Amino acid sequence: MGTVSDIIPIVCHCSVSQPQNGPTFEFMLDGLYHFTWRTPYACPVNKDEEQSSSSSCVITDPLTNDVINFTTLHREQDLEIPYPKKGKFIVNVCGPLVSSVDGCGKDAVVCQLTPEGTNHSTGSLSSVTLSRHQDGTAELVYEGGDSCNSGPERKTVFLFVCPEQTTADPPLPYYVNETECTYNFVWPTR
């Protein structure tokens, strides 16, 4: 004699606007009890906003309605970040570079300076995406940089993390690596 067990599939649908009431019974078929659950917890945490103004540095978490505002990271003076492969990056976020750098346009937010004097924009205000991830980190991506070795456009990714301790005050970004003309930085925040 075999044993019988019930299977209860619950299908969760993203719903930010509806109150969370728990699962709703839909139907039973062949020993399967089908439920639907409309909840904000089924919504993706990433919420991209693609704009070309300082508002692209503000994101609202759809689950908690927490607002994360990075506009305060725009500085009156650009940051210089060493580039281990020779040279440095001139960086400012949530607005264009303050200084005028030969070879980088007026929309540049990141400019790669080489010892040979060949400078490249590695990200532009005209193409920016801000997203929040489920692990609590946020990512600011600037695309639209100069062509890379006659191939894709350069782009820069800033990953914002909240470490337990930071050594710099205020915390400063640092270069991590480069993959296929994408320059990756980590920016500790508080």
Are residues 101 and 27 part of one domain?
Answer: no
Going 178 to 184 to 185 to 190, the CA torsion angle's sign is: negative
pLDDT at 178 over 70: yes
- What average pLDDT does this structure show over 154-158? 93
Are residues 18 and 89 part of one domain?
Answer: no
Question: What single-letter amino acid sits at 71?
Answer: T
Are residues 21 and 89 part of one domain?
Answer: no
Cα 29 from Cα 42, distance rounded (Å): 25
pLDDT at 133 over 70: yes
DSSP assigned state of 154: P
For residue 34, CA distances in Å to 29, 30, 37, 157, 181 come to 8, 11, 10, 43, 48
Which pLDDT value is given to residue 42? 55
Token digits of residue 20: 């969370």
Are residues 118 and 178 part of one domain?
Answer: yes
Give one DSSP letter per residue of 91-131, joined into a string.
E--SS--SS--TTS-TTEEEEEE-TTS--EEEEETTSEEEE
Q: Which domain holds residue 67?
A: 54-188
pLDDT at 156 over 90: yes
Q: Mean of the per-residue pLDDT values for the chain?
A: 77
| 133 domain residue, yes or no | yes
| 47 domain residue, yes or no | no
Are residues 109 and 84 part of one domain?
Answer: yes
| 48 domain residue, yes or no | no
Are residues 113 and 21 part of one domain?
Answer: no
CATH number of 161's domain: 2.70.130.10
- Burial annotation 95-119 (CB, 10 A radius, 16+ → b, else e): ebbeeebeebbebbbbbbbeeeeeb
Which pLDDT value is given to residue 25? 77
Cα 125 from Cα 57, distance rounded (Å): 11
| 102 domain residue, yes or no | yes
Q: Hunting for tokens 């540095």 — which residue is that?
A: 57
Cα 28 from Cα 35, distance rounded (Å): 9
| 115 domain residue, yes or no | yes
pLDDT (tens digit, 9 = 90+) per residue, 58-85? 877 666 777 878 888 888 999 999 998 8
Number of domains in the chain: 2
Q: Are 95 and 125 in contact (CB under 8 A)?
A: yes
